[in-house]
């Protein structure tokens, strides 16, 4: 069964049109939730780590939030250079490695 589900699979925005990406998880004993950005043909680039419900992190136009069941990546006034695939991953008790979602492919049009 899916333990980490990202939605939508793909999202097309106009420049300046704010939106949110969702990462829901069904694991128990969450020890950390990670967001990454991946450009085509490149490895993922680390963005944020969230450890507990209610926590928020910000970086430029991106803001990540965490609840007990999901995380949101809010993109405010996006620019074309924000176009990428955004991945989330979780670390939970009983597993030594991260479990990744399938990603959301974001396209921001000028």
Partner 1 sequence: DVKVTQSSRYLVKRTGEKVFLECVQDMDHENMFWYRQDPGLGLRLIYFSYDVKMKEKGDIPEGYSVSREKKERFSLILESASTNQTSMYLCASSTAGVQREQYFGPGTRLTVT
3-state SS class at 57: strand
**Site residue total, partner 1 (CB under 8 A):** 23
User: Shortest approach of partner 1 to residue 38 CB, angstroms?
Assistant: 8
The beta strand positions in 2-83, using DSSP E, are 4-7, 10-14, 19-25, 30-38, 45-50, 56-59, 62-66, 70-75
87 binds partner 1 (CB under 8 A): yes
**Token pair recorded at residue 106:** 């974001």
Query: Of 40 and 110, which has the nearer Cβ to partner 1?
Result: 40
DSSP state of 82: G
**Does residue 98 touch partner 1 according to CB under 8 A?**
yes
Q: Which of 8, 12, 17, 45 touches partner 1 (CB under 8 A)?
A: 45
Residue 41 in contact with partner 1, rule: CB under 8 A:
yes
Does 68 engage in binding with partner 1 (CB under 8 A)? no
């Amino acid at each position: 069964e899916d333990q980490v589900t990202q939605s939508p699979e793909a999202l097309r925005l106009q420049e300046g049109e704010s939106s949110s990406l969702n990462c829901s998880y069904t694991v128990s004993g969450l020890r950390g939730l990670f967001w990454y950005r991946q450009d085509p043909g490149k490895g993922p680039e680390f963005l944020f780590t969230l450890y507990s419900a209610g926590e928020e992190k910000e970086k430029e136009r991106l803001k990540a939030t965490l609840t007990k069941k999901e995380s949101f990546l809010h993109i405010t006034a996006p620019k074309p250079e924000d176009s990428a695939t955004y991945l989330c991953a979780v670390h939970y008790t009983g597993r030594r490695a991260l479990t990744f979602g399938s990603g959301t492919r974001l396209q921001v049009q000028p």
